[in-house]
Amino acid sequence: MPQYRLYHSPGACSLAAHIAFEELGVAYAPIRVIIAEGQNQTTEYLAINPRGRVPALVICEGNTEQVLTELSAILIYLAQTYPSASLLPLDTLSFVRAVEWMSWLGSTMHAGGVRTVLRPDRFISDSAAAEAVKTRGTENVRIGFADIESRLHGHTWALDDCYSIIDAYLLVFFRWGNRIGLPMRTDYPHYTRIMDAVRARPAVQRAIAHEGIQIE
Ligand SMILES: N[C@@H](CCC(=O)N[C@@H](CS)C(=O)NCC(=O)O)C(=O)O
């Protein structure tokens, strides 16, 4: 069995990979890279992931080490390496439905959504204009949350009847929604119901406790 090191930052999108490992129950070493303290920009970390982002997964097999970056790639790698854990569905249409979720969450909701609110400096250098970026970004995030809410209406989990790692990925955004001051519990009741079920899972509770974060 390979040995794993998961580089993550508390409350970052890497939480979904952290939860995935806890769900799998395979041995891994979680390594904290605190973004707020600039630890993702150290020479040591940039040697692992030159993009300076988390998550990064180091896979050690024999004498070889491979670094895998991009959350969705890491989640698919874990799901396909340990198929019996059902982190993602196996049949093609359900699997690509999961890929559809991950692509949209990683691009529209993360890079083009929440990041504009939390890191407007990445989009505009004029600090006086940053508020306008945040305001418009918040509107876009709300449009995204309304989309999530309508997709989750009438569902037990994001992918119909089965819990999957998509539900854990959605928890990252639910927490970020709270963090940027949106009334998640009142405005998105279906999303909240599923997130409450995600948070009841022991694996999720272990990852949250290990990261020392609050969801609400
Ligand atoms: N597309 C990447 C995004 C990774 C990413 O931006 N992670 C954030 C934490 S949520 C990060 O490392 N931020 C550090 C920075 O922006 O300097 C993925 O999905 O893994």
Judge whether 21 and 203 are in contact, CB under 8 Å. no
Residues with CB under 6 A from ligand 1: 12-13, 35, 40, 52-55, 70-71, 106
Residue reference for tokens 């939390």: 118
Judge whether 58 and 7 are in contact, CB under 8 Å. yes
CB count, 10 Å around CB of 78? Answer: 24
Round to whole Å and give the CA distance between 120 and 96.
Answer: 32
What sections of the chain are H helices per DSSP?
15-24, 43-48, 71-81, 92-104, 115-118, 130-152, 165-179, 184-187, 189-199, 202-211
Residues of the chain with CATH 3.40.30.10: 3-85
Residues 6+ apart with CB under 8 A from 190: 149, 152, 153, 154, 155
- In this prediction, residue 160 carries a pLDDT of 86
Round to whole Å and give the CA distance between 121 and 204.
Answer: 32
- In this prediction, residue 161 carries a pLDDT of 84
Round to whole Å and give the CA distance between 142 and 137.
Answer: 9
- CA–CA distances in Å: residue 52 to residues 71, 96, 204: 13, 28, 25
pLDDT tens, residue by residue, 167-194: 999 999 999 999 999 999 999 999 999 9
Residues of the chain with CATH 1.20.1050.10: 92-201
Mutate to test the pocket of ligand 1, among 45, 51, 53 (most ligand atoms within 8 A of CB): 53
Q: Which fold has domain 92-201?
A: Glutathione S-transferase Yfyf (Class Pi); Chain A, domain 2 (1.20.1050)
Ligand 1: atom nearest CA of 74 is: 20
* The Cα angle at residue 190 between residues 189 and 192, in degrees rounded to 5: 60
Judge whether 191 and 174 are in contact, CB under 8 Å. yes
Going from the Cα of 68 to the center of ligand 1, the distance in angstroms, rounded, reads 13
Tokens matching residue 47: 């040697």
Architecture of the structural domain at 3-85: 3-Layer(aba) Sandwich (3.40)
pLDDT tens, residue by residue, 111-161: 999 999 999 999 999 988 999 999 999 999 999 999 999 999 999 999 988
Round to whole Å and give the CA distance between 159 and 96.
Answer: 11
Going from the Cα of 171 to the center of ligand 1, the distance in angstroms, rounded, reads 16
Q: % helix / strand / coil in the chain, to the nearest 5? A: 60, 10, 25
Confidence of residue 95 (pLDDT cuts 50, 70, 90): very high
By alpha-carbon position, which residue is closest to atom 14 of ligand 1? 53
Mean pLDDT rounded to a whole number for the chain = 97
Quick one: what percent of the chain has pLDDT higher than 70?
Answer: 100
